[in-house]
């Protein structure tokens, strides 16, 4: 199996099979990020395709000696920002994301029933965040990236990332409390 570096080099030489291999390896990461930010499965699927089309189009600008994942996160976030600005409308809340957030773990029906209502509240709260806060919250909590990694991906200072994450958490907490969710039910991880 080829490394990302080898696949990027092959793609830069025009090998479309390398693009397919990179897509197979990283499509879940891109889709999960786009879905977390937009809350819309169709838009996330479109953005997924756009990210890999951009990878093909600008392959010669990708540094094969650097990790590919930050490039994918940055491109996904940038394309999402562009899409959101272009359409200037509120997106419907996240749908059916709970299962993918926990990966391939099979959820018991009783557990799903218990968390269903609370999850809808969280979906609404995330969708109500500003776009900048939503991107940081998704990259931090859904993609489990560090503050430094998010800073590099979005090309903003770590302090700005901390601020967006802090105010995003505060907004989530306020929204959930106003919706009747007890503050103790939501776990916050302060940095």
CATH 1.10.1740.10 location in the chain: 1-92
What average pLDDT is seen over the chain? 81
Class of the CATH domain delimited by 1-92 = mainly alpha
Q: Return the pLDDT at 51.
A: 96
Q: Please give the backbone phi and psi of residue 155, each rounded to the nearest 5 degrees, phi first.
A: 60, 45
What is the spatial distance between Cα 41 and Cα 9, in angstroms, rounded to a whole number?
A: 31
| pLDDT for res 81 | 85
Domain 98-191, what architecture?
Orthogonal Bundle (1.10)
* Cα distance between residue 114 and residue 147, in whole Å: 32
pLDDT value at residue 79: 93
User: Which residues neighbour 191 within 8 Å (Cβ) at sequence distance 6 or greater?
Assistant: 147, 162, 165
Q: What is the pLDDT of residue 183?
A: 45
Strand residues in the chain grouped as ranges (E): none
Residue given tokens 């979906």 in the structure block: 123
What is the per-residue pLDDT for 109?
56
Considering the entire predicted model, what is its pTM? 0.69
CATH 1.10.10.10 occupies which residues in the chain?
Answer: 98-191
With a cut of 50, list the residues of the chain below it in pLDDT.
89-105, 183-191
């Amino acid at each position: 199996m080829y490394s990302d570096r080898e696949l990027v080099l092959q793609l830069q030489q025009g090998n479309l099979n390398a693009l397919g291999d990179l897509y197979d390896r990283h499509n879940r990461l891109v889709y999960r990020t786009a879905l977390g930010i937009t809350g819309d499965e169709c838009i996330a699927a479109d953005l997924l395709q756009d990210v890999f089309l951009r990878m093909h189009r600008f392959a010669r600008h990708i540094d094969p000696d650097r990790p590919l994942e930050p490039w994918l996160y940055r491109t996904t976030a940038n394309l999402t920002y562009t899409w959101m600005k272009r359409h200037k409308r509120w997106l419907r809340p996240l749908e059916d994301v709970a299962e993918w957030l926990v990966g391939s773990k099979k959820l018991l029906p009783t557990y799903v029933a218990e968390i269903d209502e609370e999850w809808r509240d969280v979906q609404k709260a995330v969708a109500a965040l500003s776009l900048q806060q939503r991107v940081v919250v998704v990259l931090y909590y859904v993609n489990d990236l560090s503050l430094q990694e998010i800073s590099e991906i979005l090309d903003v200072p770590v302090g700005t990332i901390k601020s967006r994450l802090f105010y995003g958490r505060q907004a989530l907490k306020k929204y959930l409390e106003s919706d009747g969710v007890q503050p103790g039910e939501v776990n916050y991880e302060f940095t």
